[in-house]
Amino acid sequence: MNNNKLNSQWMGEAIALSEESVRSGKGGPFGAVIVKEGKIIAKAHNQVTSTNDPTAHAEIVAIRKACQVLQTFNLKGCELYTSCEPCPMCLGAIYWARLDKVYYANTKADAAQIGFDDRFIYDELKLPLAQRHLPMIQLMPTEAAIAFQEWVEKSDKVEY
């Protein structure tokens, strides 16, 4: 099967998961599939409302499943197919997971039109901490630095 046909097949799976999520009432209209070496290794739909977990976006759930399947925290060599352009949280997780590529269907503008508008987060991130709507207050940096120093000195750490 050629790449375009496979890409469409995998995106079709992500879109089907988004529809299933809506129809089941288990979450918002989002689905995601992670592929490695031509095979689906994880798939998920949004589960925010059914699990009472604001981080249970389709991409995050799929990343968690893929990491369990592969027994690693590094998804290099994997591609993500998602029914919608990732939100800021998911995008951060995608970068941390080291996925090779992201394919998406709906845009963040499309999502905003149906009530999933992340613009406020992007706007907040541009502001200095003191100007953000969510107060960010530093406490006990000297005490917290001990763990950081121990990490630097740790010879058997697993870096990520």
Residue type, 43: K
Catalytic (active site) residue 153: no
Nearest to 103 by CA among 28, 6, 37: 6
DSSP 92-132: HHHHHHT-SEEEEEE-HHHHHHTT---HHHHHHHHS-GGGS
Out of 13, 19, 59, 124, the active site residue is: 59
- CA-CA distance, 117 to 50, in Å (whole number)? 20
What three-state secondary structure class fits 140?
coil
Catalytic residues: 59
